[in-house]
Chains A and B, each alone.
Chain A
Amino acid sequence: DVKVTQSSRYLVKRTGEKVFLECVQDMDHENMFWYRQDPGLGLRLIYFSYDVKMKEKGDIPEGYSVSREKKERFSLILESASTNQTSMYLCASSLTENEQFFGPGTRLTVL
């Protein structure tokens, strides 16, 4: 079974803190994705990566950066967390055009 794990299920941070959200997949997938999910807005793509050290902006990259130093790990970084970044963050991985496999999500609250 494909497994996508995220470092935390729940996270509470203060405004201005630097936040790292980690995602690891164990199926040697090339593509990895970070989404945020908000009520009434569905899933919005923040960044994606289709290879090590490659990254592409999604629909809402502002305020975020990413890192992909190893194929299995894709990190989402909030350089200076703000309250409007309170959200559910979902990581996914995929092999070309096949289905995306999702992690369980990290619910981030920024106070």
Chain B
Amino acid sequence: GEDVEQSLFLSVREGDSSVINCTYTDSSSTYLYWYKQEPGAGLQLLTYIFSNMDMKQDQRLTVLLNKKDKHLSLRIADTQTGDSAIYFCAESLDGGSQGNLIFGKGTKLSVKP
């Protein structure tokens, strides 16, 4: 079945770049998403990429998509302590016709001062 895999933990120093990786299985996914969850809060959409794109940049965030390898990454430049959160990768299921998403287990990013 469909599955989204990501590592559970990442620790970086303030000012460094963070790279969070994700692999997915559904080649028909239309959109791939990155969500951020701060402590005690719900998930908030950070960015997304359409499946026919290779890269998307939005200020400090860069999303890279390797569709052949079904690999998605999120790079956060100049990581700040406020970036500490859990980051979820998600793929749309069945082409996204009903808005169903499959989420990874989340990567907890810890930023040390």
Report the minimum CB–CB distance from A4 to chain B (whole Å): 8
Count residues of chain A with CB under 8 A from any CB of chain B.
26
A62 CB to nearest chain B CB (Å): 18
CB of B24, distance to nearest CB on chain A (Å): 13
Which residues 17-33 in A have Cβ within 8 Å of B in the complex? 30-31, 33
Which partner residue on chain B sits nearest A58 by CB separation?
A: B100
Q: What 0/1 pattern do residues 86 to 111 of A give for CB contact below 8 A with B?
A: 00001010111111111111000000
Residues of chain B from 39 to 98 with CB closer than 8 A to chain A in the complex: 40-45, 48, 88, 92, 95-98
B106 CB contacts on chain A under 8 angstroms: 42-43
Q: Please list the residues of chain A having a beta carbon within 8 angstroms of any beta carbon in chain B.
A: 4, 30-31, 33, 35, 40-43, 45, 48, 50, 90, 92, 94-105
The 5 closest A-B pairs by CB, nearest first: A97-B96, A42-B105, A94-B99, A102-B42, A31-B99
Question: B residues touching A (Cβ–Cβ < 8 Å)?
Answer: 8, 30-31, 33, 35, 40-45, 48, 88, 92, 95-101, 103-106
